[in-house]
Structure 1
Amino acid sequence: MADSATRTPRRRSGPRLSLEPLRSRDYRLLFVAESVSVFGDAFHAVALPWLVYQVGGGARELGLLVAVYGLCRLATTPLGGILADRVGPWHVMLVSDLGRLVFTAAIAVVAVAGDPDLVLIGALVVGTGLGAGLFQPAAYAITPRLLPADQLAAGNALHSTAGFAAGLVGPGVAGLLVVALSPGVAFGVDALTFAVSAVCLGAIGMHHRRVAPVARPADGAPPPPRSTFWQLLRGSPLLRTVLAVTAAANLTVGGMIRVGLPSLASADLAAGAGGFGGLLAAFTGGSLAGGFFTAGLARLRRRGATAMLSGLVMAAAVALVPFAGYAGAVVALAVAGVASTVTNVLIITVVQQHTAAHLLGRVMSAILFAALGLFPLSGVAAGLVVDAYGSGVLFLATAATLGAAFSVGLSRRALREG
């Protein structure tokens, strides 16, 4: 046995932030493209209400435009996955960026040039929504091509971190620009971000732009027939479980954030608009911290089980929010945000690593559709629950739904051992 003085010191096994994926030139380009694009989305979200009000519209018209944008994004999400598999995710992302560049620049031009018609603004918003739905499934599908398997979780976590950071900083910068100049100028900045994103995508290496290659047997025989998405769905307990858990979890979370949290801040905590902003910032800041934390879990083996356990932590934190007072609610929401990002990043990584390359776009679009498709129902249901029983019951119902969904996921071997 070796003497204690000559033993090799053990490496610390705790999670540490991994920036290893950023050493890859093509991943860096994708990282910048997505980060700049998300930053620009904040300008769209802030500038659109002020533009609608500027041209004489009101809350009804704004609500209609927001709903149309969301429905268009949802409608093209499956198409984005199909096209990513058939023509390659790089082409889909580039077309999406260029299309949104054109439509957003057009909004900026008509806003600055004069008194635009709301119908024209709505038509251009439709174009941006359609492009947004195409982009994200392709982005998830191309990431595994740019990174080795042991860096994939860190890469996904860095994407998430950049997105939440842009979500924290972007609205404030956009608001200052709208106040100081005009909504049209803010839309111009948004268009510029799509141009920057397209330039970054254009610089990605040619070998990453092609459709997923067909694996050929070593003996030169014809390649076996590729499985279809529906064959994969029927034969993969992992995918079925992930889709079910994703849909169940998102059935209540969207309504809790958009409807329950404002009600809790104003009616139960008497914190007003400023207090609501603090609660929302706590969840978003926690989500940002969760991205940094997950980027340090590169050597984690049982990602599926960890994701489900993290989801159960989120459920427990959500249940505490309405009973902990304002300071306690801030802490609980921050914990929920961390757990939410850990769960999302790890689940995405597990699915990416267990899906054939030629189906990855469609699988990612199916997961995104499961996450986004129930959002309108979530908002309506949350409003009904809050009106009838109060925001506290909504938070408890959300916690119960999350707890049930992630408990089912943890009980499924295919996901637990992923």
Structure 2
Amino acid sequence: MASKVTAPRVSLRPLRVRGYRLLVIGQGTSEFGNAFQVVALPLLVYSFGGGPRQLSLVVAAYGGARLLATPLGGMLADRWGAWRVMLGADLGRLAATAALALAAATHRADTPLVTAIGCLTGLGAGLFLPASWAVTPRLLPAEDLQQGNALSRMVTFTTGLAGPGAAGLLVAWLSPSPALVVDALTFAVSAVTLLMIGRGSFAAPAQNVAERAGVPRNFRALLRESRLLRGVLAVTTVANLTMGGMTRVALPTLATHDFAAGAVGLGALLAAFTGGALLGALLVAGLPDLRSPGRTALSCGLLMGLAVSLVPFTGLPGALAALALAGAASTVTNVLIVTGIQHGTPPGLLARVMAAVTFCGLAVFPLSVLAVGAAVAAFGPRGVFLATGLSLLTAFGYAFTRRELREL
């Protein structure tokens, strides 16, 4: 008799934990608000006579400040506590975004002001990111951690699908200023949920004497001793070498020129990746008892590289399917690797470790955009997708040769 195959079922057990439930609500609301700033900011810059150069300056200021603040966020979260860092970052971004909304409403916004506020919001994002990655293990039992990470990703991708459309309607109906007010209010919601959780819920789990004796004293010692951490940082860097440029430069060029699909086609391609990422989160949330999460994560990384390589050669329908597959594989890989890092890192160093992983993913972005821009101008976008697929296949192929990564 054939064995019965059951589809994965998403467990909502992590949502029974009050602190985690509030954290997901707060971060999901904040992520929804981010779309309003992404949509409103270009129109605000254009409204006071700015152009692409001024907009790129504002975006670069945000990205540069976020990158520089990320290691600081990890150090502060481990030293002072993730709760304090996250709350301070939310309140700071609330104030900065509210000031930007006021400047937009009173027609006093200009490039220097918007750039300065972009730096402040980028600083807040950089401080917040590593702390937010470090808190889930302090709110959930170890057996629920993978599902908790997956549910958080589900909320993020759901708001990523819903946010831009709502923001676009609001900006088109009114102006950038109300959209920025919405963004500021979502930071307020995130701060309130943190206050409701309370600082005590974010306390690091206690370690017994034996564990303390074997724990590296600082991040440098951990990096020196942990082949797993060194491997994850190397894979993260190589996998992201051209990913940012592919998404921001090559994909828009492919959609508008090679596919002749215009803005609608570009939106569909981006939505396909996000929709696939959401499905990937559903899948990994329904498979909490994987026999080999490390091998599964690395296999999905290889699948993502193959899918990305096919995007420009299958027409628009094939590209939509390939990006959806890449999005799903990306989420499974990220959730399983992050969960493995959370399980294997001493609690007192977790925020710094997540800051290092985040930094490696973000640090190559500016170079990626510049290099891909030059490559697309000279040769067209197709080679960029092949190069991105090759970098992913190289990164995860190397990871398969490392026992500590296979057995994550």
TM-score interval, smaller chain = over 0.9
Counterpart for residue 34 of structure 2: 41
Percent identity over paired residues: 56
Aligned: 1:358 with 2:358: no
- Which residue does the alignment assign to 1:167? 160
C-alpha distance in 2, partners of 1:67/1:271? 28
Gaps of 5+ in 1: none
* Paired residues for 1:56-135 under 5 Å: 56-135=49-128
Aligned partner of 2:270: which letter?
L
The amino acid that maps onto 2:173 is A
Distance 1:179 1:245 in 2: 42
Superposition pairs for residues 10-409 of structure 1, below 5 Å? 14-210=7-203, 212=204, 215-217=207-209, 227-409=217-399
Q: Which amino acid aligns with 1:257?
A: T
Q: What letter is aligned with 2:174?
A: L
Please give the secondary structure, in 1, of the residue aligned with 2:94.
helix
SS at match of 2:290: coil
SS at match of 1:227: coil
- Which structure's CA Rg is the greater one? 1
Once the two structures are TM-superposed, the CA of residue 377 in structure 1 deviates from its matched residue by: 0.9
Could you say what secondary structure the match of 1:203 adopts? helix
Structure 1 Cα separation of the partners of residues 214 and 227 of structure 2: 23
Q: Which amino acid aligns with 1:268?
A: D
In 2, are the aligned partners of 1:150 and 1:299 still within 8 Å (CA)?
no
The letter for the 2-side match of 1:388 is A
For 1:388 and 1:118, locate their aligned partners in 2 and report how far apart those are by CA, in whole Å.
Answer: 31
Given the superposition, is the C-alpha separation of residues 214 and 20 from structure 1 closer, same or farther in structure 2, using an over 3 Å criterion? closer
State the secondary structure of the residue aligned to 1:270.
coil
Root-mean-square deviation over aligned CA pairs: 2.0
Tell me the SS of whatever aligns to 1:159. Answer: helix
Deviation per residue, 1:78-122 (Å, 9 max, x gap): 111101100111111000001101111111112112332332222
CA 1:397–1:225: 2 relative to 1, 3 Å = closer
* Separation (CA, whole Å) in 2 of partners of 1:250 and 1:266: 24
Which string of whole-angstrom CA distances, capped at 9 and with x for unpartnered residues, describes residues 30-75 of structure 1? 1011101111111111111111111121111111000000000111
Gaps of 5+ in 2: none
The structural deviation recorded for 1:134 is 0.7
Contact in 2 for aligned 1:164/1:288 (Cα 8 Å): yes
Q: TM-score, normalised by structure 2?
A: 0.96
Larger CA deviation: 385-394 vs 150-159? 385-394
Distance 2:310 2:56 in 1: 31
**Which piece of structure 1 moves more, 246-255 or 380-389?**
380-389
Provide the rounded CA distance (Å) in 1 between the counterparts of 2:164 and 2:375.
Answer: 29
Report how far residue 206 of structure 1 moved.
4.2
CA distance in 2, matches of 1:10, 1:191: 53
Aligned length: 408
The Cα shift of 1:274 comes to 1.5
- CA distances 1:179-201 after superposition (whole Å, capped 9, x unpaired): 11111111111110010100001
User: Taking structure 1 as reference, are residues 152 and 47 closer, same or farther at Cα in structure 2, changes over 3 Å only?
Assistant: same
* Kept after mapping to 2: 8 A contact 1:215/1:223: no
Describe the SS at the equivalent of 2:11. Answer: coil
Change (3 A) 1:10 1:31: farther
Which residue of the partner structure matches residue 414 of structure 1?
Answer: 404
Change (3 A) 1:402 1:265: same
Supply the distance in 2 between the matched residues of 1:43 and 1:407 (Cα, whole angstroms). Answer: 38
8 Å contact kept, 2:45–2:110: no
Question: How many angstroms apart in 1 are the aligned matches of 2:222 and 2:176?
Answer: 46
For 1:140 and 1:301, how far apart are their aligned partners in 2?
24
SS in 1 for 2:207: coil
Post-superposition offset of 1:266: 2.2
1:279, distance to aligned residue in structure 2 (A): 1.2
